[in-house]
Structure 1
Amino acid sequence: MKEYILNLEKEFSLIENGFKEEEKRALSDYQSNDIAYIKELAFLAFKSNVYQVRMYSVFLFGYLSEQDDISAFLRDKVSKDDNWRVQEVLAKAFDEFCKKIGYEKALPVIDEWLKNTNPNTRRAVTEGLRIWTSRPYFKDNPDEAIKRIATLKEDSSEYVRKSAGNALRDISKKFPELIKEELDSWDVKSKEIQKVYKLASKFIK
């Protein structure tokens, strides 16, 4: 296993952009091996100094995320990785988790992550579920998506606020009236909220 990871490090370290190769390999390995092996492989790969191998490991964690210890590891440990590319994959892994257990069933976990003290954990939700209203459950219940994203309009992290604004803007293409109604209820005195408002209202006439 260690030798396999060394080979991944050599191969993946040459990849400078994107995530498709890491995702493709992770899915192939997940489909070709038993769960216990993949779990051990994912934890070992996450210890790599090569961020592309950690990206690969987070894709594996996404496929394993129905396990409580794995979803907790994503929330508490992966979210602390200092590479922004790994954080992009965390968002994808969270969406994979929601897809596996069902978006409606995932609502308590979505809410829990949105209240987490780590901005990377909160952003994994807003970014991972984009476009929210293309996802099952939220497609038929856009209000449920809007009210959750809107709670982040005053988030302490600009990184999170920007993601929230973009996520609301996505929804406004299909549900402009609902987004307008939400935005009309905002007190836009602060600069922080003004920026989110500007992003969210971009397509609203």
Structure 2
Amino acid sequence: MTEMELAGRLLVATPQLKGSTFDSAVILMLSHADDGALGVILNRPSDVAVTRLLPKWDTLASEPAVVFQGGPVGTDSALALVHIDGPGEPLGVRRVGGEVGILDLDTPTEVVEPAVIGLRVFAGYAGWAPDQLDDEVGEGSWYLVDAEPRDTFRTDAPDLWRTVLRRQHGDLALMASFPDDPTMN
């Protein structure tokens, strides 16, 4: 797989990852190259308000305006994604896929504000060593599906795992009804 194949797409945790760090995770892939892969978990909001950590970005923060737990790596750093309004790449933004881009948080807010219609902040990220993600996909730990722009900025983020699976075709859509505890089925 190449960066062009995964950047901007979603990794959806399979039931095989139940009980792990990535249990029911939906990850937006930001990069995938020979030196590894990087993404953020979209469906883990925290209780920490964006205004508490990054007050200058509060006015652009999408609801819920909280910091999301982006993954287990680098949890003491922040990464922001923006919903880009229009074509091109605004100054301070690198487009990841579709209408979503990574924001350089050192960019002045007044430069970014006219070009975006939403922002989501993540503490940490999910990372993989070279070939690690390819191996995990190959062994059935992840479903690889197309992302929709609204996936990154949903107000009902905790329900994203089921929402994304439900819109898939065939047997994959049935996974949306997979019980949280299969032993209770």
* Structure whose residues are more often strand by fraction: 2
The answer, yes or no, to whether TM exceeds 0.5 is no
Tell me the TM-score normalised to structure 1 length. 0.23
Q: Which of these two proteins has the greater Rg computed from alpha carbons?
A: 1
* Structure whose residues are more often helix by fraction: 1
